[in-house]
Amino acid sequence: MRSTKIGIVTVLFKSDSVIDGFIKSMNAQTFREFHILFVENDVANFHCEHEIRKGLTVPFTFVRNRDNAGVAAGNNQGIDFFLRDPSYTHILFLNNDIEVNPDFLQRQVDVLANHPEVDALAPKMFYYKPAEKVWYAGGKLSYLKGGCRHFGHNKRDRLTRDALYRVDYAPTCSLIVKSWPLRDSGIRMWEELFVYYDDTVFCHELTQAGIRIYFTPRIHLWHKISSSTGGAKSEFSRYFMTRNWLYWGIRRRNLAVLTSALALGGFHFLVRNKVEMRAMRDALQMTRSLPQT
């Protein structure tokens, strides 16, 4: 049987406050057959690179982009980087604003070895603070919302059985995917999205291609939510969440989203929400762009 080798891609942007925890988590892993690709989008900031080169004891490659290319493009860089080497059996999309136990990778390797039907696997995700509150415990794409739902969101942990659950959505803060389906399907993240909804669209395309995503509640991480984007109420987050929600709705011809957009557009105009108005206008002007390979 072919041994498991994981290529981890993590996209850096304003990661100064979280990089030390990520480095410690990766250094502590009991499973060692992995290589990390760091894609630095905070192009003028050298703090993370310094800390990585000083403190990381596992194999890695560091790439500094010329401009901030966004999360989707950074993850595509990782896909292409690891697919060039056929020895990598899996690609793990992993945020650097997370912390994990030393057996985090080994337990995923064990699940994947024992369950060949699993093409992609996501763990349970807790908030970093408070650590016992769930952020993601499985998920589902929602046509009516034009996005996704997190199961167990903002609730205490109740799902602890040693079981696998088939899902059609998992955030790419931690999603390990077999390499060959990505190679065969050619699926990549939509780079024009830049940030937000990139994982929603990615999971939609994976499931449409028959790639089976599962969630396991027995493996977990702690997620420092929105550490690089200023939180859900920041103008940055409001803009990209609104723009990409409408853009994907247009691309899918989602009548629920288009109907909601008409009502929301009127509301934002009346209350002068300039960020959302600009985001909706820009969504109407966006065109589909293909990643550079």
pLDDT at 174 over 70: yes
pLDDT tens digit string along 63-119? 999 999 999 999 999 999 999 999 999 999 999 999 999 999 999 999 999 999 999
Q: How confident is the model at residue 268 (pLDDT cuts 50, 70, 90)?
A: confident
Pairing of strands 213-223, 98-99: antiparallel
Which residues 6+ apart lie within 8 Å of 111 measured at CB? Answer: 118, 121, 164, 216, 219
CATH of domain 6-223: 3.90.550.60
Q: How confident is the model at residue 128 (pLDDT cuts 50, 70, 90)?
A: very high
pLDDT at 148 over 80: yes
Q: How confident is the model at residue 267 (pLDDT cuts 50, 70, 90)?
A: confident
Burial of 170 (0-12, 13-18, 19+ CB in 10 A): buried
State the DSSP H helix or E strand holding residue 46, giving kind and residue range, or none if neither: none
pTM of the full structure? 0.94
Give the domain ranges of the chain. 6-223, 235-285
pLDDT at 228: 54
pLDDT tens digit string along 195-244? 999 999 999 999 999 999 999 999 999 999 865 555 667 899 999 999 99
State the DSSP H helix or E strand holding residue 14, giving kind and residue range, or none if neither: none
Helix 255-270 × helix 274-285 angle, to 10° = 140
Which residues 6+ apart lie within 8 Å of 180 measured at CB? Answer: none
pLDDT at 291: 62
CA separation for the pair 274, 99 (Å, rounded): 36
